[in-house]
């Protein structure tokens, strides 16, 4: 009878603590903030459940009641320790019968097993968390090695071109010298761009937010890109009928839209005029900026990989611009969504939180 009762009390103890174990492991694995109140509630609920389902109400049960109290000491919860003592005094009415040694030993043994198991459970959760962290670090290291390998590969091409033209350089032939030096200068500039973009990517931890009108920002971007679009026989149809305010980093967002609009030029069909629709629309608590072109588009395989660092289908692309843009948008608590069909065009949606206008 005593063993059956202790098993029941053990279930009452372990069940809420197991729920907390799962909760803690999940939060830490996904690097979410933990609320310690859940630990406190699980310990308190353990004691209350044990008292509720304790049918014997004798001295033996009191030993297993001590486990939640021991946990409050282990995890430094003095206030919860006091609450548990009050619960014990109020809810229990222990009958001190003549103590039987074998029952006492039995109870202490079972209580020790439960205590060992619950502490093991918490230690196990810490180990799972540590393993998850190690796995993430290994993944980051793997990504870093891969990125450095790709960076080396990207830099080899312009260096090889520079080396080749330097070997062919003849200072007595002024026309060829000028032509070769222009090519070498362009390749050095491209190398610098690759290094600069690689250095900045992944280092954006914070952004400087200010209240800004997204329509005004886009008009600023369009004024800069207008000559380039004209040169490539492209046209941007900008649709925005009102001021739309957000909180964001003006310069970072400006660079994002420059990158995305320049991509439409590079995706232009060879024998067709480029048309780009740029729209700003308010949707509830969000602002949606849509960039849609009639360019060459992408197949499914390219679309899946388009946000990867260093992945590019362009002859002179670095493969960092879009990854950088996505990083900036995510730092603004927004989303960057891409849909595309081969030979039909690409649509990019940037979704950002909307900010209320401050009226004077």
Interior/surface letters 241-268, b for 16+ CB within 10 angstroms, e for the rest: eeebbbbbbbebbbbbbbbbbebbbebb
pLDDT, tens only, 202-261: 555 567 888 999 999 999 889 888 888 888 888 899 987 678 888 898 888 988 898 889
What token pair was written down for 175?
């026309």
**What confidence score (pLDDT) does residue 68 get?**
87
Low-confidence stretches of the chain (pLDDT beneath 70): 1, 28-34, 57, 93-99, 140, 143-147, 149-151, 153-154, 157, 193-194, 196-206, 241, 305-321, 355-360
pLDDT, tens only, 181-192: 888 887 887 777
**What confidence score (pLDDT) does residue 28 get?**
65
**What confidence score (pLDDT) does residue 360 get?**
46
Give the C-alpha separation, 307 to 295, whole Å.
18
**What confidence score (pLDDT) does residue 357 get?**
52
**What confidence score (pLDDT) does residue 31 get?**
60
- What does 187-216 look like in DSSP terms, one character per residue? HHHHHHHHHHHHHHTT-------EEEEHHH
**What confidence score (pLDDT) does residue 280 get?**
92
**What confidence score (pLDDT) does residue 350 get?**
93
**What confidence score (pLDDT) does residue 325 get?**
83
């Amino acid at each position: 009878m005593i063993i059956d009762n202790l098993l029941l009390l053990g279930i009452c103890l372990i069940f809420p603590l197991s729920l907390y174990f799962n909760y803690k492991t999940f939060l830490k694995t996904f690097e979410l903030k933990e609320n310690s109140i859940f630990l406190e509630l699980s310990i308190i609920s353990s004691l209350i459940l044990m008292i509720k389902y304790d049918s014997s109400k004798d001295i033996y049960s009191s030993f297993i009641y001590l486990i939640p109290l021991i946990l409050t000491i282990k995890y430094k919860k003095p206030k919860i320790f006091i609450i548990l003592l009050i619960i014990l005094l109020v809810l229990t009415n222990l009958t001190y019968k003549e103590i039987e040694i074998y029952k006492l030993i039995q109870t202490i043994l079972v209580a020790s097993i439960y205590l060992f198991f619950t502490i093991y459970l918490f230690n196990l959760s810490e180990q799972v968390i540590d393993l998850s962290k190690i796995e993430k670090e290994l993944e980051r290291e793997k990504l870093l090695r891969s990125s450095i390998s790709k960076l080396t590969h990207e830099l080899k091409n312009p260096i090889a071109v520079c080396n080749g033209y330097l070997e062919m350089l003849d200072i007595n032939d002024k026309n060829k010298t000028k032509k070769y030096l222009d090519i070498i200068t362009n390749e050095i500039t491209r190398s610098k761009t690759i290094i600069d973009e690689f250095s900045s990517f992944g280092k954006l931890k914070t952004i400087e937010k200010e209240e800004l009108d997204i329509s005004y920002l886009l008009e600023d971007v369009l004024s800069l890109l207008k000559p380039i679009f004209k040169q490539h026989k492209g046209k941007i149809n900008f649709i925005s009928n009102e001021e739309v305010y957000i909180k964001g980093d003006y310069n970072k967002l400006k660079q994002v839209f420059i990158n995305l609009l320049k991509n439409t030029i590079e995706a232009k069909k060879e024998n067709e005029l480029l048309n780009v629709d740029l729209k700003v629309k308010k949707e509830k608590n969000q602002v949606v900026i849509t960039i849609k072109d009639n360019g060459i588009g992408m197949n499914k395989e390219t679309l899946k990989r388009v946000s990867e660092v260093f992945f590019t289908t362009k002859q002179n692309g670095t493969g960092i611009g879009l990854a950088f843009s996505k990083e900036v948008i995510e730092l603004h608590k927004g989303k960057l969504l891409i849909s595309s069909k081969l030979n039909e065009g690409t649509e990019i949606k940037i979704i950002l939180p909307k900010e209320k206008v401050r009226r004077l």
